Amino acid sequence: MSQERSTGSTVVVGCTVVDGRIVEGVPALPDAGVWVRGDRIAAVGPRDEVLAQAREAGEHETVDLDGAYLTPGLVNMHTHLSLSLPGSGGDGVKTMSPHELALYMADGARRTLLSGVTTVRCVAEKDHADFALRRAITAGRVPGPRIFTAGRALVCTGGHGHESPDTLECDGADGFRRGVRSQVRAGADLIKVMISGGIAGEHERITTRQLFPDELAAVLETAHAWGRRVTAHAGPAEVIAEAVSLGLDCVEHGYELTEDVAALMAERGTALVPTLLVTRCKEFFDELGVPAWMQARSLGAGPRHLDSYATAVAAGVEVLLGSDMPPFWHFEGTNASVRELEYMSEAGIGPARALYAGTLGPVRWLRAEDDLGTVQTGRYADLIAMDADPVAHTSAFRGVRWVMSGGRVVRDDRAGWDVR
């Protein structure tokens, strides 16, 4: 089993602190000290100054990271801990009892945290099990990342994902208003809506329009009235353009963006979670027994998907990390979250911006920047450490060897803890 060590007052030394503010001119801090008191950061600065502050306040433990780079934990903005794609692997999840599903998701949450992802945004989970999981993590009964969740995604009758209990079928403007309110009532932090077809729907195309304008407007108006942002599963440019014009806050996938639509997204401040992995993951599909029709649709969309992402980056669209694949899943020599971030970096934004896209950018979209996303006084002590510089190479995140969540060390490879 993995272990946890409680740290009432800890000074982390032997590290260079760097976070997403580097793209805004805040430089890395070498030979730093980070004082963690309880679950939050009490001070950050030069090592000796922070140690002196901690000594003056009383007893503390010192943790030396031996020259590591210390960053905030990663934030994965497209997570499904109850994912069940078509195929034998997904069928196994679909047939789980509620008790089995809860344990399955709890194990996924544990693996996610240990991989260095300390916050997730769930964008469709089965039967509202995500809310129970979030309560269990908050209460300290199970280890896992901080969870922001949409609850069940809203779909039209027969729409994308309708066959799974992680979606809620709605029709008409009034039906979608009720759908939004039902997720808010359950405790949703945001709303997810399926506005086009996708790669996992056998009887649809990526370009299939699935909501009428009055239905989409009802989702956006109702969610915004309740202070919730809306993200949309969407592929084709014309459907995305309509949604952005109506006030959509975020696009998932965006397989077929054009220059005009990307420019509109940048102008309106609509973010993109590109999920590049989903159109270049044959190994993952084979592992889950995904049928040939879905593999052909997904992998065939890969080149256009990458062009779409590059178009968004060139237009200045805010791009954010989200893997769709379970965040912890071992893939191409690392976990899915890191591999997605590498793809994003290599395909247009570079390492410094990738650090931002995997930490501070998502936290700002979640409106949680006062608590998360940077290594600053007052923020939660959700921290990860690696030996290489992530601003030089995004692949540095492959070497995460130490994880702290809310002031508790949950992974330390030097101590020989089992983190599988």
Give tens-digit pLDDT for 194-219.
999 887 777 778 888 899 999 999 99
Residues 356 and 390 in one domain: no
Residue 1 has pLDDT above 50, yes or no: no
Residues 304 and 175 in one domain: yes
Q: Give the pLDDT of residue 120.
A: 98
Residue 336 has pLDDT above 50, yes or no: yes
Confidence of residue 6 (pLDDT cuts 50, 70, 90): very low
Residues 381 and 286 in one domain: no
pLDDT of 234-246, one tens digit each? 989 999 999 999 9
Residue 137 within a domain:
yes
In Å, how far from its chain's centre is CA 36? Answer: 25
Neighbour-count burial of 292, counting CB atoms closer than 10 A to its CB (0-12 exposed, 13-18 middle, 19+ buried):
exposed
Residues 65 and 86 in one domain: no
Q: What is the DSSP string of 210-236?
A: -S-HHHHHHHHHHHHHTT-EEEEEEEE
CA-based torsion, 68, 73, 74, 80: positive or negative? positive
* Structural domain containing residue 351: 74-365
pLDDT of 66-92, one tens digit each? 999 999 999 999 999 999 989 999 999
Residue 399 within a domain:
yes
CA-based torsion, 265, 267, 271, 277: positive or negative? positive
pLDDT of 145-200, one tens digit each? 999 999 999 999 998 878 889 999 999 999 999 999 999 999 999 999 999 988 77
Better-scored residue on pLDDT, 199 or 55: 55
Domain count, the chain: 2
The residue among 345, 365, 385 that closes a domain is 365
Residues 78 and 188 in one domain: yes
- CATH number for the domain spanning 67: value is 2.30.40.10
Residue 385 has pLDDT above 60, yes or no: yes
Q: Give the pLDDT of residue 196.
A: 92
Residues 193 and 223 in one domain: yes
Residue 2 within a domain:
no
Confidence of residue 271 (pLDDT cuts 50, 70, 90): very high
Which H or E element spans position 110?
helix 98-114
Question: Averaged over 13-25, what is the pLDDT?
Answer: 98
Residue 420 within a domain:
no
Residues 115 and 246 in one domain: yes
Other CB atoms within a 10 A radius of the CB of residue 10 amount to 24
Residue 26 within a domain:
yes
Residue 354 within a domain:
yes
Residues 268 and 407 in one domain: no
Q: Give the pLDDT of residue 380.
A: 98
Quote the percentage of the chain above a pLDDT of 90: 88
Residue 400 has pLDDT above 70, yes or no: yes
Better-scored residue on pLDDT, 419 or 337: 337
Residues 241 and 173 in one domain: yes
Residues 95 and 67 in one domain: no
Q: Give the pLDDT of residue 208.
A: 85
Of the candidate ranges 2-6, 136-140, 155-159, the one whose mean pLDDT is the lowest: 2-6
Q: Give the pLDDT of residue 417.
A: 59
Quote the percentage of the chain above a pLDDT of 70: 97
Residue 1 within a domain:
no
Residue 270 within a domain:
yes
Confidence of residue 3 (pLDDT cuts 50, 70, 90): very low
**Which alpha helices (DSSP H) does 237-301 contain, by range?**
237-246, 259-268, 282-288, 292-300
Residues 58 and 97 in one domain: no
Confidence of residue 130 (pLDDT cuts 50, 70, 90): very high
Q: Give the pLDDT of residue 2.
A: 39
